[in-house]
A and B are shown apart, each in its own frame.
Chain A
Amino acid sequence: GAVVSQHPSWVICKSGTSVKIECRSLDFQATTMFWYRQFPKKSLMLMATSNEGSKATYEQGVEKDKFLINHASLTLSTLTVTSAHPEDSSFYICSASSRWRGANTEAFFGQGTRLTVV
């Protein structure tokens, strides 16, 4: 299957700082990328959907000014957690899909990024 890579795999940051997480599609052009958040032993909660070249669509309850998403190219989307606080500590996962004949293809997931805010 297609490869989606996230970087970093884990990061520890101080409260009040910002952290950027990258999601790259390595062998296909990702027209759409999704960002999820997963708490320990919990399900994946969709945070936002981003389409290349346009603004991300955020799910209800997700602060767009806190979680900045940029999808500047067909192979890269970034999630920046601004002014991080301990409650932002979580496992963040991206997925990416491309379009084929007008329809989105299967979405492939990255390996996730564990963020710990101290």
Chain B
Amino acid sequence: QQQVKQSPQSLIVQKGGISIINCAYENTAFDYFPWYQQFPGKGPALLIAIRPDVSEKKEGRFTISFNKSAKQFSLHIMDSQPGDSATYFCAGGVYNNNDMRFGAGTRLTVKP
């Protein structure tokens, strides 16, 4: 069922630095790629999402880069803050279905 591969498993970044998380997908039917942020004991919350018609999407400090030919996409968190410390999941799915497959997750720690 693991159709989306995510790396790294964990990431430690200094405050103000850039956090980069990478994902690769296999299913060419996927046309929706969201990123979720999850804090311990809570459900995931949608952070930002991209469709394949664009190669980049930016919302505040969060940017998704998408490479359709390589079937890869990444999340960049600029000016990382301690409050960004959480587990991040990438996902892939068919937009109309919301039937998403999640990556394994990346535990991000931003040190003050």
Contact = CB atoms under 8 A, between A and B. Distances in A.
Given A49-B99, A107-B98, A107-B100, A43 B42 contact: no
Contacts of B107: 41
B59 to A, nearest CB: 14
B41 to A, nearest CB: 7
Contact of B41 (A42, A43, A108, A112): A112
A24 interface: no
Contact of B43 (A41, A93, A97): A93
Consensus secondary structure, chain B interface: loop
Interface residues of A, number: 29
B94 to A, nearest CB: 9
Contacts of A45: 1, 102
A95 B45 CA distance: 10
Nearest to B90: A43
A46 B100 CA distance: 8
B104 interface: yes
Interface string A1-34: 1001010000000000000000000000000101
Given A41-B87, A93-B44, A95-B43, 7 more contacts: A42-B105, A43-B103, A45-B1, A49-B99, A103-B96, A109-B44, A111-B42
B46 interface: yes
Size band of the interface chain B makes with A: 20 to 34
Interface string B26-48: 00000000001000011111100
15 contacts: A34-B100, A41-B105, A43-B103, A46-B1, A49-B99, A59-B1, A93-B43, A97-B98, A103-B96, A104-B97, A106-B49, A109-B44, A109-B46, A112-B41, A112-B42
A95 B107 CA distance: 22
A57 to B, nearest CB: 9
Given A42-B105, A46-B1, A109 B95 contact: no
B86 to A, nearest CB: 13
Interface in A34-78: 34, 36, 41-46, 49, 59-60
Interface string B1-23: 11000100000000000000000
